């Protein structure tokens, strides 16, 4: 194949489109339900099972960053949403919006990372779509994935079940993904570089399945980070959360980048971590199960549910306390 860049014709439905789909999509994902390129995937859903269905769109810049690409991110994002709903991820859709002029080499690297991530997570890409837009109408490429998973018996996740005294656990250092992307975007090079934590959490969920009845809440802290998730739990409820700063795991690289950019890591996205709130009695066994997996090695208990209505409070390393607020939105660089 001679083309080096995506052209508008690759999305036009003609020969170029067919060529692109055959060479890049079918070659990687064409074994299962995608075989023969039907208009939709026909899936063997087990009877009497609850199914979980979710979708997410990915517009990250740059497309490739330390630790990942928009491709594995798009798989992990959807797989993790299914996992924290208490489901075993099964099937994914993959929709690509490509910008005219995108190098084929970039597209191939991204699709390879989709394939690798999907295989690692045990999910199949069973349907998809590709469109091409004119130069300037999107930033290289956008990706949407939707996912279907099988709900596991025993999980009744509901923040209304959370009560004072419950423990708050996290599966590993938080904020690495957001800092890696921000540092890459700003061209900041740090000696102990920060790498995205993008990765799946489904094994972490399956590893604690036997404690499901005492698990009340699970979430992956993406946009808005730990702060956004925990505030959502206590909002309009008669309880609060007290975090202990010394117990919250952060990586050295993320800390350095956050100091440099003036960003609060509690508000920064992770893409391979999960937060769990459950009965105090299971926190030690959950941590033990998590720590036996590579992705849960640095899991920690970071706080406790309190009776302080609607507040997430951090006990800082000085012993003082402060409010952990919901992030406002755009992370703006400070002047000094």
Say how far apart CA 81 and CA 92 lie, in whole Å: 12
Tokens of 2: 């001679």
Taking the complex as a whole, how short is the minimal distance between the CB of residue 326 and other proteins, in angstroms? Answer: 10
Instruction: Tell me which H or E stretch contains 221.
Output: none
Provide the terminal-to-terminal Cα distance of the chain, rounded to the nearest Å. Answer: 51
Q: Which residues contact other proteins by CB under 8 A?
A: 186, 246, 255-256, 259, 261-262, 264, 314-323, 325, 328, 332-336
Work out how close the CB of 227 gets to other proteins at its nearest, in angstroms, rounded to a whole number: 10
> Taking the complex as a whole, how short is the minimal distance between the CB of residue 236 and other proteins, in angstroms?
17
CB closer to other proteins out of 235 and 259? 259
C-beta closer to other proteins: residue 17 or 244: 244
Angle, helices 176-185/252-261, rounded to nearest 10 degrees = 50
Q: How far is the CB of 255 from other proteins (least distance, A)?
A: 6
* Bridge partners (DSSP) listed for residue 125: 92
Nearest CA-CA partner of 274 in 235, 300, 244: 300
Q: How far is CA 180 from the centre of its chain?
A: 14
What is d(CA 237, CA 320) in angstroms, rounded to the nearest whole number?
A: 24
Cβ proximity to other proteins, 189 vs 334, nearer residue: 334
Q: Which is nearer to other proteins, 48 or 318 (CB)?
A: 318
Residue 207 Cβ vs other proteins, minimum distance, rounded to whole Å: 31
The residue (of 103 and 262) whose beta carbon lies closer to other proteins is 262
């Amino acid at each position: 194949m001679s083309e080096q860049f995506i052209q508008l014709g690759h999305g036009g439905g003609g020969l170029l489109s067919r060529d692109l789909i055959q060479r890049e999509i079918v070659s990687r994902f064409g074994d299962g339900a995608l075989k023969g390129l039907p208009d939709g995937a026909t899936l063997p859903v087990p009877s009497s099972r609850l199914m979980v269905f979710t979708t997410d769109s990915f517009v990250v810049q740059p497309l490739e960053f330390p630790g990942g690409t928009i491709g594995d991110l798009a798989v992990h994002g959807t797989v993790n949403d299914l996992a924290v709903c208490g489901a075993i991820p099964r099937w994914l859709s993959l929709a690509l919006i490509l910008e005219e002029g995108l190098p084929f080499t970039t597209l191939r690297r991204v699709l390879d990372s989709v394939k690798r991530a999907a295989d690692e997570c045990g999910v199949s890409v069973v349907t998809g779509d590709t469109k091409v837009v004119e130069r300037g109408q999107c930033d290289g490429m956008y990706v949407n994935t939707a996912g279907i998973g099988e709900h596991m018996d025993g999980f009744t996740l509901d923040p209304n079940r959370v009560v004072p005294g419950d423990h708050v656990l996290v599966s590993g250092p938080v904020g690495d993904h957001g800092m890696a992307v921000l540092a890459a975007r700003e061209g900041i090079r740090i000696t102990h570089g920060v790498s995205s934590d993008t990765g799946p959490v489904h094994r972490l969920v399956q590893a604690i399945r036997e404690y499901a009845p005492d698990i009340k809440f699970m979430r992956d802290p993406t946009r808005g980070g730990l702060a956004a998730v925990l505030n959502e739990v206590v909002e309009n409820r008669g309880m609060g959360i007290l975090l202990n700063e010394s117990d919250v795991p952060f990586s050295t690289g993320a800390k350095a980048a956050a100091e440099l950019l003036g960003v609060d890591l509690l508000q920064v996205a992770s893409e391979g971590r999960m937060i769990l709130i459950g009965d105090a009695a299971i926190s030690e066994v959950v941590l033990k199960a998590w720590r036996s997996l590579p992705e849960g090695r640095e899991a920690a208990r970071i706080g406790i549910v309190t009776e302080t209505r609607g507040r997430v409070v951090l006990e800082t390393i000085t012993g003082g306390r402060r409010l952990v607020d919901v992030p406002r939105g755009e992370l703006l660089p400070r002047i000094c």
